[in-house]
Amino acid sequence: MEEAQQTESTGIKPLLRVLEGTREAVPPIWMMRQAGRYLPEYRAVREKAGGFLDLCFNSELAAEVTLQPVRRFGFDAAILFSDILVIPLALGRKVEFQVGEGPKLESMADAAALANLHESIDNKVLAPVYETVARVKSALDSKTTLIGFCGAPWTVATYMVAGEATPDQAPARLFAYRDPESFARLIDRLVQGSIEYLVGQLKAGAEVVQIFDTWAGVLGPQQFERWCIEPTQKIVEGVRGRIPGAKIIGFPRGVGAMALPYVELTGVNGIGLDWTFEREIARDMLQPRVAVQGNVDPLALLAGGAALAREVDDVMETLAGGRHIFNLGHGILPQTPIAHVEQMLKRVRG
């Protein structure tokens, strides 16, 4: 009883504690894309659900696949199963996922396409996602943190403008250079929609939200400030204006030398780093300011064995002295053997 009271007041969720400013002897651990095709139980549900978006909007099945990796591996966090592209959908754009081909959207080559974009997100479209959050929350034990998410406006815009995944995000970068005012209107629409969406998830039971800026790394410094830092800062401020103290992790993939301004200007509680980020710089410059999440190379996880052991040890030796959330530097690859995930967990937790 006494112990229960004590844990109640200090908080017993390791991931939340790290975001609040403590260092954990064993870092909390979860994996980007932890609910996914490398798991046979995911593939079974996915087959039953029909299309990928059908799965995202089926609260019962989405909650089930969210919980699968937590059950199997005992991760410290569950991440909502959904996708960043539900926001364009809720703004009135067509979004489809074709098997093996990735997302297909109506493209937006110029300002004219903005006329067909809704002013604000349709929460009716997103209601099943909020229900998934509530279902997962009620199923989690007292140590596991529920993470919600959205895509950062820049990254979502790269898909909306091109209509599909691109190797260099050239269509969105060109749009932004040619017509920055119109591009800013698109970004602002995404900022407002993302605030609304994240607040909806936090109200439904998410305890942390992560903003995925997968394509941040293609932007030069000025563009990065304008299209990545500024919108993220507005989302953080907007969410905290409605949910004071909301905990937010940013994942500006490929951030490189812009990491410090990103952290200082956006006000995030944690930063997710990809595997190319110099770990000693993360330790010396970032950990004193925020929690650092990452940054095992997903290919080291795929390789397994000695290469994985070395990678895990290096991350631990460099980052475990400070506020650290153990994670991958990007999503787990579908071909990854489950035994390698087990090997990684064992090496971190001992």
Quote the CA–CA distance of 250 and 237 in Å, as a whole number.
Answer: 13
- Number of H helices and E strands in the chain, helices first, is 17, 9
In the chain, helix, strand, coil percent, each to 5?
A: 55, 15, 30
Least Cβ distance, residue 333 to ligand CP3 (angstroms): 9
Three-state SS annotation for 158-221: HHHHHCECCCCCHHHHHHHHHCHHHHHHHHHHHHHHHHHHHHHHHHHCCCEEEEEECCHHHCCH
Q: Which is nearer to ligand CP3, 92 or 331 (CB)?
A: 331
Token pair, residue 214, equals 């997968």
8 Å CB contact between 271 and 259: yes
Residue whose C-beta lies closest to ligand CP3: 214
Q: Which is nearer to ligand CP3, 70 or 236 (CB)?
A: 70
Token pair, residue 181, equals 């005012």
Q: Which is nearer to ligand CP3, 52 or 275 (CB)?
A: 52
Write out the catalytic residue numbers: 33, 37, 46, 83, 159
Least Cβ distance, residue 254 to ligand CP3 (angstroms): 11
Closest listed residue to residue 291, CA positions, set 319, 262, 329, 257:
319
> CA-based Rg of the chain, rounded to a whole angstrom?
19
| Packing angle, helices 180-204 and 123-139, rounded to 10 | 40
Q: How many CA atoms lie within 13 A of 217 on its CB side?
A: 14
Closest listed residue to residue 69, CA positions, set 31, 15, 23:
31
Rule CB under 6 A: which residues touch ligand CP3? 32-37, 46, 52, 79, 81, 83-85, 102-103, 149, 151, 165, 212, 214, 331
Least Cβ distance, residue 44 to ligand CP3 (angstroms): 12
Least Cβ distance, residue 11 to ligand CP3 (angstroms): 24
Count, residues in the chain: 350
Quote the CA–CA distance of 106 and 138 in Å, as a whole number.
Answer: 37
Least Cβ distance, residue 304 to ligand CP3 (angstroms): 20
Q: Which is nearer to ligand CP3, 79 or 146 (CB)?
A: 79
Least Cβ distance, residue 37 to ligand CP3 (angstroms): 5
Quote the CA–CA distance of 312 and 71 in Å, as a whole number.
Answer: 22
Q: Which is nearer to ligand CP3, 165 or 243 (CB)?
A: 165
Strands 95-98, 102-105: parallel, antiparallel or unpaired by DSSP? antiparallel
Token pair, residue 119, equals 């002013």
Q: What number of other Cβ atoms are within 10 A of residue 22's Cβ?
A: 13
Q: Which is nearer to ligand CP3, 183 or 251 (CB)?
A: 251
Q: Which is nearer to ligand CP3, 30 or 175 (CB)?
A: 30
Least Cβ distance, residue 284 to ligand CP3 (angstroms): 27
Quote the CA–CA distance of 230 and 292 in Å, as a whole number.
Answer: 21
